[in-house]
Amino acid sequence: QIICSFAGPFLGCCLILLLKWYPKVALCLLIQTIYNLLPIQGTDGGCILQTGMLLLLGEEKGCQVFTIIEKFTRALLFVLLFYIAVKWSFGALLFFLSMQRLRKVGIKTPCKRRALRVQ
């Protein structure tokens, strides 16, 4: 599952090579790849981290560590988005839309804990 979860970000990094010919597309791919690697449940980074924690620490301890890292990441993103909202006048709309997106990602079905395979 870790290898399969790395496939999306790896392809995104490979497509960044289009920077010379399509700079806007490459920038969008870079942002999407970075977002996809965040350790939040429902993203590739979340699946990679969760699977790694389950393999290294076992099911109970791995889930606890993953939950702590996910909460810290969400709090850090909240602070960053709030700073952007205060700094820029149009940031309030960006903040609201980003928080809606983060909330929807958190609702996604988690990776199966007992069977370490891609859904």
**What letter represents residue 84's amino acid?**
I
Q: What letters, b where the CB count within 10 A reaches 16 and e where it falls short, cover 64-102?
A: ebbeebbeebbeebeeebeeebeeeeebeeebeebbeeb
pLDDT tens digits, one per residue of 83-107: 777 777 665 666 666 666 666 555 5
pLDDT tens digits, one per residue of 8-57: 888 888 887 777 788 888 888 888 888 888 888 888 888 898 888 889 99
